[in-house]
Amino acid sequence: MSMGHYAEQRPGFEVTKDWNGADQVMIRSPRGASVLVSLHGGQVVSWRNERGEELLFTSSKAIFKPPKAMRGGIPICFPQFGNCGTLEQHGFARNRIWAVDDEVPPLNQNDNNCKASVDLLLKPSEDDLKCWPHCFEFRLRVSLSTDGDLSLVSRVRNVNGKPFSFSFAYHTYLSVSDISEVRIEGLETLDYLDNLSQRERFTEQGDAITFESEVDRVYVGSPNVIAVLDHEKKRTFIVRKEGLPDTVVWNPWDKKSKTMSDFGDEEYKQMLCVDAAAVERAITLKPGEEWTGKLELSAVASTNCSDHLDYPCS
């Protein structure tokens, strides 16, 4: 089935090309929220609310040319997070061209009634198998609810004859008004691995996490609902996750920003990465086994956000 034919079958689903000729899929909710997903990396590159406001950060200096991953949106880190392994930084999934998956069964019968979605599929190339010799099928469903909430469901299946292990993250670049006015709730008292101190383990002491210098941490065994409060915008992001025990928090601050060619010197003020992840302990799949990791993002007015912390990922 061609992409064009596929698009005709689906309301709120439109296929366009990016700067390099790679397909990207736009999905829209009836109220006007939208998500743009690039088949380069299976990466969400835009998420707008019904007022058309962009909720994800993309660097003005981002490089949109494979094999460079684009700095912004939600890159998929698989089968490695960071440089803690033999593969390229954050693994190869974010640098591969994914396919639209026409064959996928619904995840559950209620799922499609209120969501516009697209299903993508990644299988390893011969080159991938040379550097990471494990056969897998990675299915990604990106959905937009009627209310404009964004959800990503990843399913990784081992179609290999032997077990394999991987780490994973949804490397989510949230757009904020001013990093010094932002705080995170839900990670208090947790242990974290500090990537600025050779992954040494510390315990979070603050009531809420605020930002006044570079932060690069893996909060281990984190709750499945976290809130990111942007005081200036009076907006709160609710991050819900399932199957992903860790939360990575990253902001490069000023010195690190100046060393990154695809990132503006002052752009650290407008972004914060809060990643649903499985980093501390690798996920291991036996032959035929499948793992599922879910992320759901909501953006709500800050006045009524504290109630949301009780909601599980739907």
Q: Which residues are annotated as a binding site?
A: 71, 89, 94
Residue type, 284: T
Element (H, E) at 257: helix 253-259
108: Cβ contacts below 8 Å, ≥ 6 apart: none
Q: Single out the residue of 5, 2, 45, 51 nearest to residue 26, CA to CA.
A: 45
C-beta separation of 172 from 141 below 8 A:
no
Q: Single out the residue of 280, 120, 59 nearest to residue 190, CA to CA.
A: 280
Tell me the sheet residues that pair with 230.
182, 235
* Phi/psi-derived region of residue 191, left when phi > 0, alpha when psi is between -120 and 50, beta in every other case: beta
Binding residues for substrate: 71, 89, 94
Q: Give Cα 262 to chain centroid, integer Å.
A: 19
